[in-house]
Amino acid sequence: MSEIPFKGEIRRDYITGTDVIFTFSRDKRPRDFKNEEILYGNAESCPFEYGKESLNTTIKFIGDPWKLRLMYNKYPIVNEETTPSEKEDFFTKYANYGHSYVIIDSPNHLQKFYKIEDDILESWLKLLIEAENLAYSDKKIKHVYTFRNNGSISGGSLYHPHTQVIGFTFVPPIIKQELEIIKNNNKKCVIEDAIQKETKRTLMEDKNAIAIAPYGSRFRGLSIIVPKRHIDYVGKLNDYEIKSIIKLIKTILEKNQKIFGSHSYNLVFHELKDDKDLHFYIEIAPRFSSFGAMELSGIYINSLRPEEYVELFNKTN
């Protein structure tokens, strides 16, 4: 009996509850627009280069000469100088209060993240934890959101490798969604369930951490990196888990480069400090196009099933 050709299906992401439409036909659409993304930017005008340290207020250097740099964000989306909150009838406005930091991941403008030495990236993760704790030292901060945007489609404005750490006075909607899913799962950890059940979509693992291509992946080649020990935020990782997570991040980014070629991506930390229900994980989401009207409805379209991504991943050296 011949195999029935795949016509598409809708899957639900068990972490966020988001519906994802999987279809092959999308990649065969005629296109008027080419990908004109400039991935590398201009080092001469980049404010993160060696010799331009005075352009930003540095909190801490790692190495001499420096290999990593923690600094205040010169163009923050939240800050400590804000207008008061107010509510007027139908309209509500909140103070734009918070903390915003940037970590320069390398002095090299063109440095591929996965090619940075392991010990430097371990120091990067520890510096990131230091930045998060700096934000959390302010009792008004309820959540710290940490992420890397790589490439213009990811939302990045500068190519030079850097990480952003932002402290909010509120918990973002995506984290609230994840907590609601846990609540509806009889308070059982969804991530720990995934570790047990996602055997077909496991990319890599060791005794400390695991990388999975989730069943309801919102993007082509999406992966999550999870410490096997249940912890709620990155600051509770031990040294062994840090080493494992760095290895997984580097391998996934390198293989994605070989599978997809040069592309944008987001690397996002999902966490909520001191919430015993949430299981910390890192999401790596390759980005090939900006959001369309369908995504604005809350429904995502993916042309590569995670099982197929796992197959490509395993074939790539």
pLDDT of residue 32: 39
Region 141-162 average pLDDT: 90
Region 152-168 average pLDDT: 89
Query: Which of 236, 218, 239, 243 minimizes the C-alpha distance to 280?
Result: 236
pLDDT of residue 83: 66
Res. 1 pLDDT band, cuts 50 70 90: very low
Tens of pLDDT along 211-261?
999 999 999 999 999 999 999 999 999 999 999 999 999 999 999 999 999
CATH code of the region 9-26+39-315: 3.30.428.10
Res. 6 pLDDT band, cuts 50 70 90: low
Q: SS3 letters for the chain?
A: CCCCCCCCEEEECCCCCCEEEECCHHHHCCCCCCCCCCCCCCHHHCCCCCCCHHHCCEEEEECCCCCEEEEECCCCCCECCCCCCEEECCEEECCCEEEEEEEECCCCCCCCHHHCCHHHHHHHHHHHHHHHHHHHCCCCCCEEEEEEEECHHHCCCCCCCEEEEEEECCCCHHHHHHHHHHHHCCCCCHHHHHHHHCHHHEEEECCCEEEECCCCCCCCCCEEEEECCCCCCHHHCCHHHHHHHHHHHHHHHHHHHHHHCCCEEEEEEECCCCCCCCCCEEEEEEECCCCCHHHHCCCEEECCCHHHHHHHHHHCC
Region 309-314 average pLDDT: 98
Q: Residue 288 pLDDT more than 80? A: yes
Cβ neighbours of residue 25 closer than 8 Å, sequence gap 6 or more? 8
Between 44 and 132, where is the model more confident? 132
pLDDT of residue 159: 86
Tens of pLDDT along 23-52?
875 454 444 334 445 456 778 889 999 999
Is the bond into 84 cis (omega within 30 degrees of 0)?
no
Q: Calculate helix-pair angle for 239-260, 118-136, nearest 10 degrees.
A: 110
Q: Residue 302 pLDDT more than 60? A: yes
Q: Residue 4 pLDDT more than 90? A: no
Phi and psi at 227, nearest 5°, equal -70, 135
Tens of pLDDT along 257-281?
999 998 999 999 999 999 999 999 9
CA 153 to chain CA mean position, Å: 14
Region 134-139 average pLDDT: 96
CA–CA dist 13, 4 (Å, integer)? 25
pLDDT of residue 138: 95
pLDDT of residue 5: 57
Catalytically active residues, by annotation: 162
Tens of pLDDT along 46-79?
999 999 999 999 999 999 999 999 999 999 999 9
Q: Residue 187 pLDDT more than 90? A: no
